[in-house]
Structure 1
């Protein structure tokens, strides 16, 4: 057959879908590199280098979720935009550029301004990110067909986290070899490259038609998620759960680096193991999602996360590194599944036309509690550090065990009723 006979023919839907899924996967490559080198133990390490204390670190870790409140206004504003793609480029690009710009702080500002300027830039960056993230969630929900959603995100997350684990390990070796200013400068070079590359790839995203809300007024649109009792009960429970979880889990790196004096390289290796386990978890949770509901699987991620906190108690009679590796293995299985299934819950168990507001309400409620948790956790660690050396076990593993016990009790009481029944 003459190849010229195909000229002018419309592209097959299946082929277009595969191309869009490929773009969405490739977009994640520079994004995961940037997020890995700027987040996790490297974020904590950079803040310690800038002179931040436990309260500052708790606030920075919390602000990323608190700004999710902005999604409520953004969900209403989204009904009036003509192009989700252009809005996505504006806000996600702003986030990438502002966050990566924090690496210039030690070279531009006096030392006494470092922490304050970082918090300012970081806050603005994540306001952009929360709006861009909601637009991306709405758009990706239309790009990925519902029947392959669980499996696709399982495979995508596995690939990206494999890359992230390499970056984690390499970054840890780098900071151990070049501590302080030199190490962080080298670390930020690939970050700046990836910030630009990630923004450019968004130009290739499809600008799919947007199914708008059936409601015109803000009040009627806002109340829709609160009228869905099943969605609301699950969201309130998950928000309460995250309040307890974020008392300690976001501060794992702080405890390892500052209280247990674990090296950057070892913290990176522990986090790599967590990421590798998470990769396998993504694939398994994704396949299970084809057979079981989002809420049922969400329930079973909770006791695994609780076991991550309880594992710190092994330090009372076992080597510290044994407890840390085991804790992060449970964390990789649990949190990886939780994040993936919570995402599928917001885009799969909600009405398509009202999805932005459902996503916004979920993000706002869980964001407020995830903001409060690390703040309280950081404040409690500050108080615990003033205790005598005889009571140092409380801050190194006792607090984690107490939080894990509460999480386990909450799971098999209220969680069972809300998510399984």
Structure 2
């Protein structure tokens, strides 16, 4: 569903002649509004005492949301982009209804000492499937565009995405859920909030994550616009560029997972925090197709570690009985960051000029989005520099330097992987108390 459907939603919007600000709205408004559904999900989990039923309801809503995504922009052609945005809100609403309960369920199922490797293997398989379906989607769009039937190509992709989600619902229905493990909805008293903000490692992490999402979203929704509109990429080239990042994640996730289990998540956040700010800036230097593929490979390497460690860090920080409510609030805050970042990026992309005069010299940029990329780079760097040093590892883990992390990820071999598996399964001291 993600590889053949969701990945191509922005491309579909560009096909419908969406403007840069409209692309920003597509990337920001649906996640923000849908994230509020997570609070409803947390409440339902507390009231019903069951997680699987809520997960199935959200997954079903997400599957059937593909119907209005396909139909409404075609029926209301004069309002195609606003209708698409409204339909995607419904799609994300289903996903966010599922997310807190799904995260809580996995937190109970997966043993703490194996989380890094389990989630890296799971995410690796997802990346492989996403990569394969992304290729299929790009090929379908390319062939249909050659025949002058691009719209039919998008419809085929979105129908396949809906069917894939329906199949996944069956497998979700087979999962076991113990009602006694459902996290109750617990919110601290008003007088406790200030103390939590000052001293809670979990809240510091949520603030860092939301601000990083804000900084990333300034640029991330507009790479599709840049490739399809400014570089005139074919759908095959767009597929290759997007797929390269997913392929790089697949290659490095296992290494990141082993490092997470043995050496903790904070060090991974620190290492990837060095690379992530550079990603949008590197897009400015060249339009060469192979150069941008290499940039995407580096991006996939960085985001694989960041995403995995950020997800695992949540499990480390939050006690099980508070997990559902906290994750719902955490994701709402992150969605707010995405909304603000994408709106800012859309505005800047619409007002930035392409001709500059600096120190008496005149410069011409291919796209006003170059300015957006630079602003995103500066914001990412500021967040990483100011907030990552304030995060604290809560598990008892082995020390490792930044250089050693990079070496282990880029130079991992089969023997080293076996050693990591052996070391990572040794009993460790009792973990520190979670927030």
State the TM-score, normalizing by the size of structure 1.
0.83
Q: What is the aligned partner in structure 2 of residue 338 from structure 1?
A: 306
Which of 329-338 and 383-392 deviates more?
Answer: 383-392
Which of 306-315 and 261-270 deviates more?
Answer: 306-315
Q: Is 1:309 aligned to residue 280 of structure 2?
A: yes
The 1:392–1:85 alpha-carbon spacing in structure 2 relative to 1, beyond 3 Å, is same
Instruction: Quote the Cα distance in structure 1 between the aligned partners of 2:189 and 2:94.
Output: 24
Pairing partner for 1:128 from 57, 81, 94: 94
Q: String of CA shifts for 1:358-388, please: whole Å, max 9, x gaps.
A: 2122112111011111111112112236869
The 1:396–1:324 alpha-carbon spacing in structure 2 relative to 1, beyond 3 Å, is farther
Structure 2: state its 5+ residue gaps: 357-361, 395-435
- 8 Å CA contact 1:274–1:332 kept in 2: the answer is yes
> CA shift at 1:159, angstroms?
1.5
The 1:77–1:226 alpha-carbon spacing in structure 2 relative to 1, beyond 3 Å, is farther
Q: What is the aligned partner in structure 2 of residue 248 from structure 1?
A: 219
Q: Is 1:182 aligned to residue 152 of structure 2?
A: yes
> CA shift at 1:417, angstroms?
3.4
Which of 126-135 and 403-412 deviates more?
Answer: 403-412
Q: What is the aligned partner in structure 2 of residue 147 from structure 1?
A: 113
The 1:45–1:79 alpha-carbon spacing in structure 2 relative to 1, beyond 3 Å, is same
> CA shift at 1:49, angstroms?
2.3
Instruction: Quote the Cα distance in structure 1 between the aligned partners of 2:371 and 2:294.
Output: 16
The 1:214–1:367 alpha-carbon spacing in structure 2 relative to 1, beyond 3 Å, is closer
Structure 1: state its 5+ residue gaps: 1-33
The 1:218–1:409 alpha-carbon spacing in structure 2 relative to 1, beyond 3 Å, is closer
Q: Is 1:262 aligned to residue 233 of structure 2?
A: yes
The 1:70–1:227 alpha-carbon spacing in structure 2 relative to 1, beyond 3 Å, is farther
Instruction: Quote the Cα distance in structure 1 between the aligned partners of 2:189 and 2:379.
Output: 37
- 8 Å CA contact 1:225–1:357 kept in 2: the answer is no
Which of 295-304 and 240-249 deviates more?
Answer: 295-304
Q: What is the aligned partner in structure 1 of residue 412 from structure 2?
A: none
Which of 216-225 and 266-275 deviates more?
Answer: 216-225
Structure 1 vs Structure 2 CA RMSD = 2.7
- 8 Å CA contact 2:38–2:100 kept in 1: the answer is yes
State the TM-score, normalizing by the size of structure 2.
0.80
- 8 Å CA contact 1:312–1:401 kept in 2: the answer is no
Q: What is the aligned partner in structure 1 of residue 296 from structure 2?
A: 328
Residue-pair matches, total: 383
User: Secondary structure of 1:313's match?
Assistant: coil
Instruction: Quote the Cα distance in structure 2 between the aligned partners of 1:100 and 1:201.
Output: 22
Q: String of CA shifts for 1:30-88, please: whole Å, max 9, x gaps.
A: xxxx1112223x11121122332222211111134313233234323321113211111
User: Secondary structure of 2:267's match?
Assistant: helix
Which of 321-330 and 128-137 deviates more?
Answer: 321-330
> CA shift at 1:170, angstroms?
2.0
Q: Is 1:202 aligned to residue 172 of structure 2?
A: yes
Instruction: Quote the Cα distance in structure 1 between the aligned partners of 2:215 and 2:122.
Output: 29
- 8 Å CA contact 2:66–2:159 kept in 1: the answer is no
Q: Is 1:279 aligned to residue 250 of structure 2?
A: yes
Q: Is 1:83 aligned to residue 71 of structure 2?
A: no
Instruction: Quote the Cα distance in structure 1 between the aligned partners of 2:179 and 2:191.
Output: 20
- 8 Å CA contact 2:20–2:346 kept in 1: the answer is yes
Q: String of CA shifts for 1:231-253, please: whole Å, max 9, x gaps.
A: 11122122112211110023211
The 1:89–1:392 alpha-carbon spacing in structure 2 relative to 1, beyond 3 Å, is same
The 1:72–1:226 alpha-carbon spacing in structure 2 relative to 1, beyond 3 Å, is farther
Q: Is 1:350 aligned to residue 318 of structure 2?
A: yes
> CA shift at 1:410, angstroms?
3.7
